[in-house]
């Protein structure tokens, strides 16, 4: 009878621990990873994370798109070089996290 009681306490403790692990991990915020791409008028190129976007691409308003910041889940890794996915390419202003334009000065 004592062994059965100890087994019951052990199982209850295991259920409690597993419940805590799942509830705590459910509310932890996931780390977002984003990447900059420069745009030359026809194609996108991934920016090296160690180098910032070119200084000519720092305007937050303008007419000529120069660089976009894209979440990792919106990047297509199937080709030779990572590219924004089709939705971002079709509408970069609404699908990217941040947009930079060429300085017109």
- Please indicate, yes or no, whether residues 19 and 51 belong to a single structural domain of this protein: no
- Please indicate, yes or no, whether residues 82 and 96 belong to a single structural domain of this protein: yes
- Please indicate, yes or no, whether residues 24 and 39 belong to a single structural domain of this protein: no
- Please indicate, yes or no, whether residues 25 and 38 belong to a single structural domain of this protein: no
- Please indicate, yes or no, whether residues 41 and 1 belong to a single structural domain of this protein: no
Q: Tell whether pTM > 0.75.
A: no
- Please indicate, yes or no, whether residues 73 and 46 belong to a single structural domain of this protein: yes
Range of the domain at 38: 34-101
Residue 68's pLDDT band (cuts 50, 70, 90): very high
pLDDT in tens, 3-62: 656 666 666 666 665 555 566 655 666 667 889 999 998 999 999 888 888 888 889 999
Q: How many domains does the chain have?
A: 2
For every residue of 26-78, which 3-state class applies, written as one string?
A: HCCCCCCCEEEEEECCCCEEECCCCCCCCHHHCECCCCCEEEEEEEHHHEECC
């Amino acid at each position: 009878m004592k062994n059965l009681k100890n087994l019951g306490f052990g199982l209850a403790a295991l259920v409690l621990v597993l419940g805590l692990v799942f509830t705590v991990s459910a509310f932890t915020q996931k780390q977002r990873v984003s990447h900059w791409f420069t745009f030359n008028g026809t194609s996108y190129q991934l920016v090296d994370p160690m180098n910032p976007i070119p200084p000519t691409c720092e305007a937050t308003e303008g007419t000529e798109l120069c660089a976009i910041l894209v979440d990792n889940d919106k990047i297509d890794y199937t080709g030779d070089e990572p590219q924004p996915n089709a939705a971002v390419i079709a509408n970069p202003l609404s699908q990217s996290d941040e947009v930079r334009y060429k300085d017109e000065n």
